[in-house]
Amino acid sequence: MFIDAATSSLTVGQRSTNSVTEFVQGLRQYPTANVGDAMDRLNLMDTGIASQWATGRCVGPALTVLTREGDNLAIHRALDDAEPGDVLVINALGGTTRAVFGDLLAEICLAAGIAGVVIDGLTRDRAAIKELGLPVWARGVSPAGPAKYGPGAVSVPVACGGTVVNPGDLITADDDGVAVIPIQRAESVLRRLADIDKFEEDLRTKIRNSTTTTAAGAVKHLANSI
């Protein structure tokens, strides 16, 4: 850790060992809303977990954190175990009085290769984090900073935005919000996403052709009436 603090109050579980590279690459081509459709509109975090700056997007396996409201000791410890491409998922108990994340943690995340951060709680330093380019989803912002005492846990199942997230589950997030794909469902979700994408493209083509035909007919009718 980059801070000097005792970690005896923390519990650290085991990282998932599943290989997810192929799934991550496949999911990158689909919006989060379609991912939700592929899971019957389930496993979507509530709308309070929102992108903290426009055009943020990330896909990757979850590195999970459970922390007391207003405390970020467990977050610092979790980043010791981070691997490039991880999405940091933090259950800060939905706290809305103190931020548990800020620009210094964002710097550590970027150095560790974190793809994005999802917080059931608050962040601070939003402008600085936007400038750094780290995608962050949270319940909002507060200038009030955190304590670093614990307790907390790393790499354990957590609740975030009303959804269960297990270590290694796949996270996809964009301007619409955050979806959680249980790792055991990743293959079937990708298959459904391909079907949904084809259906939507076929429907768009039909709509655009219909619009073009309707417009051409209107012009012809107008010309005949002059």
Q: Which SS3 state, helix, strand or coil, does residue 9 take?
A: coil
pLDDT tens digits for the chain (226 residues)? 999 999 999 999 998 888 899 999 999 999 999 999 999 999 999 999 999 987 789 999 999 999 999 999 999 999 999 999 999 999 999 999 999 999 999 999 999 999 999 999 999 999 999 999 999 999 999 999 999 999 999 999 999 999 999 999 999 999 999 999 999 999 999 999 999 999 999 999 999 998 776 666 655 654 565 5
Look-up of token digits 């768009």: 204
Residue 147 DSSP SS3: strand
d(CA 95, CA 122): 7
CA distances from 173 to 10, 134, 154 (A): 28, 13, 21
